[in-house]
Structure 1
Amino acid sequence: MSNLLETILIYTCIPVVTFILGGLITAIRKPSPVFRSIVLHFAAGVVFSVVAVEILPDIVERNKPISVIIGFVLGTLLMLYIKDFTEEKENQTKTIDIIPKIPVSFLVAIGVDVLIDGFLLGIGFASGSKAGLLLTLALALEMFSMGMAVSMELKNEKIPTKKAIIHVVLLSSLFFVSATLGGTLLQNLSDNVMEIVLSFGLSALLFLVTEELLVEAHTEEDKPLYTATFFVGFLLFLVLGMIV
């Protein structure tokens, strides 16, 4: 095993652990509506900041408009299809309240977010150990809030605690895969292919923020303090991104 790959795998454990920890905390004890709204707003702010700080600049720098359109449209269409498909299934079974409904579109969007984060971490360590270390800290914070968000939504849909934890662990495993690929194989992709991959992730993350996290956050009574946590999350990751 190369030194780079070994380093990536070691530091990847930090965001993975925080993701699982966030999921465990809320899976064991169901949070109050106020706490749920705050965490979802905060997570939305962090993800939106990741888009602005880490993904968009890279996409613009590569300057491949056609590839951007292809990746963005594919990502948007896929997420819309998944959302429409899962909502149709939910409508067919809405009279059977005892059957838990897994929020598939939400989990897919979170999965894409985890994949993109792992990919960014792998790229960060391939670029230099300092960038990788700082990015690890930033992603550990984001993954903690996302783990909490995932667990809360599963509990909100009355998914059993054991199954909710399993979903959280499975999602966290995606981080290992994408971080390894980001630091090794994906380094050799052409700019056009990378642009498509990043643009696909961009649209999926925007979907996650606008159609999942914020929508769910606003199902509870909204107050300025709750909304402010969105901007706190955005600012926090923005500052960390500047340090990196």
Structure 2
Amino acid sequence: MSSAWMYTLIPAAAVVLGAVAAVNIRPGPRIVSAIQHLAAGVVFAAAAGEILPDLMHRNAPVATVVGGGIALAVMLAIKQVEGLVKGPLGLLSMVGVDILIDGLVLGIGFSAGAKAGILLTVALTLEVLFLGLTVANELGESVRSRLAVVGATAALALLLPLGAVLATPVAALPPSIVAGFFAFGLIALLYLVTEELLVEAHQTPDRPWVTAMFFVGFLAILVLEELMS
């Protein structure tokens, strides 16, 4: 668990990679949608296959409701603020909060075990790759310097290890409180899939191969989990 922050360097690198790709290649809407579908499938499988079973075996219904309720309130609040805050600063602020929560969830995942943490690392790497693409695309419309765009996006990536470090004490807490944190992580991930990734992915007309990427990502995590067992 103490080394969980080191694993966040992988998705942090993906954020920078996404930004570099966005300022140099400008991927088309269908490619972006395919990445979103793939990321959604991977995150959904990791959440359902790792965090959910562990949470159910802890037998802490009150902590589950409290942790899940807090996660839902936080994610809905972020959504509301996104609609009010405009411009590059607003975008950076909201994405920064998302990335911080991702780091927190990854740290919580490692408290459930190394396998859960590694699978979540894979899932969140794809998710933040999309965030890097999105931030760089949006900033590129108002910031001319490619270096400045990549630099601002890379700065956001530092919030991933910060979130993991904040989650480090979770493993030492009483089991019922740990269950609450797991519920928080589970709801945050499922909200990300249903209300962020898939909603954004369907902004462009669907093609069968694009839709199939969700299930490709889902099956890939299932296979990886079997290989790690």
TM-score (norm 1): 0.76
- The one of 20, 30, 40 equivalent to 1:34 is 30
- The one of 203, 211, 222 equivalent to 1:227 is 211
Within a 5 Å distance, the mapping from 1:1-244 to structure 2 comes to 5=2, 13-90=9-86, 99-100=87-88, 102=91, 105=94, 107-121=96-110, 124-125=113-114, 131=115, 136=118, 138-139=119-120, 141-159=122-140, 160=143, 161-162=146-147, 164-166=149-151, 168-180=153-165, 185-244=169-228
Q: Shift in Å at residue 30 of structure 1?
A: 1.8
Q: Shift in Å at residue 172 of structure 1?
A: 3.3
CA change 1:140–1:9 in 2 (3 A) is: closer
CA change 1:139–1:210 in 2 (3 A) is: closer
Unaligned 5+ residue runs, structure 1?
91-98, 126-130
The separation in 2 between residues aligned to 1:13 and 1:81, in whole angstroms, is 28
Q: Shift in Å at residue 187 of structure 1?
A: 2.2
Q: Shift in Å at residue 18 of structure 1?
A: 3.9
Mapped contact 1:26–1:148 kept (Cα < 8 A)? no
Unaligned 5+ residue runs, structure 2?
none
TM-score (norm 2): 0.81
Mapped contact 2:37–2:198 kept (Cα < 8 A)? yes
The separation in 2 between residues aligned to 1:18 and 1:156, in whole angstroms, is 15
Aligned AA (1:63):
N
* Mean Cα deviation higher: 15-24 or 222-231: 15-24
The separation in 1 between residues aligned to 2:163 and 2:26, in whole angstroms, is 30
The separation in 2 between residues aligned to 1:143 and 1:63, in whole angstroms, is 27
Mapped contact 1:118–1:179 kept (Cα < 8 A)? yes
RMSD over aligned CA atoms reads: 2.9
Aligned AA (1:70):
V
CA change 1:105–1:8 in 2 (3 A) is: closer
| Secondary structure class of the residue paired with 1:157 | helix
Mapped contact 2:96–2:159 kept (Cα < 8 A)? no
Q: Shift in Å at residue 11 of structure 1?
A: 5.3
* Mean Cα deviation higher: 15-24 or 200-209: 15-24
Identity %: 34
List, as ranges, runs of 4+ consecutive aligned residues in structure 1 with deviation greater than 6 Å. none
